[in-house]
Amino acid sequence: MRIFKKKKIKTFQFKPFSLKQKKLLYWWQDGSVHENKDIVIADGAIRSGKTIAMICSFLRWSLTNFESQDFIIAGKSMGALKRNVVKPMRQILESWVIKSEYNRSENFIIIGSNTYYLFGANNEASQDVLQGLTAAGALADEVALFPQSFVDQMIGRCSIDNSKIFMNCNPRGPYHYFKTEYIDKIKEKNVYYLHFTMEDNLTLSLKVRERYKRMYSGVFFKRYILGLWVMAEGLVYDMFDEIKHKVSIDDELCTEHYISCDYGTQNPTTFGLWGKYQGKWCKIKEYYYSGRDESKQKTDEEYYQDLENFIGKIKIKAVIVDPSAASFIATIKKHGKFKVKKANNDVIDGIRNMSTALTNCLIAYNNCCINTFREFFSYVWDEKAAERGEDKPIKQNDHCLDSDRYFVNTVLFRGKGITFLK
């Protein structure tokens, strides 16, 4: 029988806190001019030190002021919460020599006599799990990614005397509900508001800050680097540059190959052949068929035969397909010739990762990919959605780029962020 040893928790390696982080740490203490505020909000740039300072502040506040009470800790998803909050929280407690009990199956942590319940807030139904809970406080990580219904319910659950809400986020659009209902109403809602920049994180060297600044462009640079609540408008991939990203390359020079696929019935079906060459990925060629334009729909079997002809004798590591294309995935698997990998099809994360890949020239396009080039210059943000506080591209001229997004999000970034920085 194989015996697994319990993994020892590492202690958190603290570095000096900046003035902004110290304000977040001590805002609730006796004598602070903000001690009577009900909510603290820290927003701003990525890697600005707001999350760690907020975790420390929340822990100190809850353990100093309460015994035998319940608390809410929420993140966009349970996976993100465990990675971004729970892991560093337990390391911080270990460094403070404070014991904690983590119940992974039931998603709660006991610290002293207090219980901290963990929640994912990824859709409108998420608020239902808060029903019936009475809490003394809450910590919401990346709160701008939560549905408004969850935030409202979370705040409503904190009804114990002297309860407080701790919330942090990176900016979104200027009409996002969190901007209009909380940040723009800090006096009305008794909020202490702190805006962070990368300079507020003393652990980041100038070299690292400059590297992050090179990673983003357009709306993502304004939000993640400058920390501004700005609208997504114009071309989605305004960083695409034919001079930088258009190449001429032979398939024989590539060492690895993938196919990415965006499958449609009425809408076009596209395939992209990707090859790795000198440390970057190149889209070597494309397949594009629109049943609507051709006045003839194709069956799954016909598309599969086109896929085989498109690949030819090239050895493919996997065919990356949108998980919603269930019938086409089944057809590929039935033939048993190619491995299928279901794509990470998150739209906004995928667009951000595509933008980062283009900004850093991690991907390029062979000059034969004419439909892809056409889409780069016609794929735009939905301005009406932006006015409602939503980031959405218009669902037109996007089929090749959706296929490319699946590849980038699934292979380059593996759906977990910027892997090339490690």
Query: pLDDT band for position 421 (50/70/90)?
Result: very low
Beta strands in 39-159 (DSSP E): 39-44, 70-75, 100-103, 108-111, 114-120, 137-140
Whether residue 419 has pLDDT greater than 50:
no
Query: pLDDT band for position 2 (50/70/90)?
Result: very low
Query: pLDDT band for position 7 (50/70/90)?
Result: low
Pick the CATH number of 242-421 from 1.10.10.10, 1.10.10.60, 3.30.420.280, 3.90.960.10: 3.30.420.280
Domain range list for the chain: 19-203, 242-421
pLDDT in tens, 225-250: 999 999 999 999 999 999 999 999 88
Residue holding tokens 């959706």? 402
Residue 118 tokens read as 């963990």
Question: What is the pLDDT at residue 10?
Answer: 84
- The pTM for the full model equals 0.84
DSSP reduced 3-state for 309: helix
Query: pLDDT band for position 3 (50/70/90)?
Result: very low
Whether residue 414 has pLDDT greater than 80:
no
Which DSSP symbol is given to 204?
S
DSSP reduced 3-state for 223: helix
Residue 7 tokens read as 């993994």
DSSP string, 353-397: HHHHHHHTT-EEEETT-HHHHHHHTT-BB-HHHHHTT---B-SSS
Q: What is the CATH number of domain 19-203?
A: 3.40.50.300
Question: What is the pLDDT at residue 8?
Answer: 76
Q: How does the average pLDDT of the chain come out, rounded?
A: 93
Report the alpha-carbon distance of residue 10 to residue 13 in Å, rounded: 9
Query: pLDDT band for position 6 (50/70/90)?
Result: low
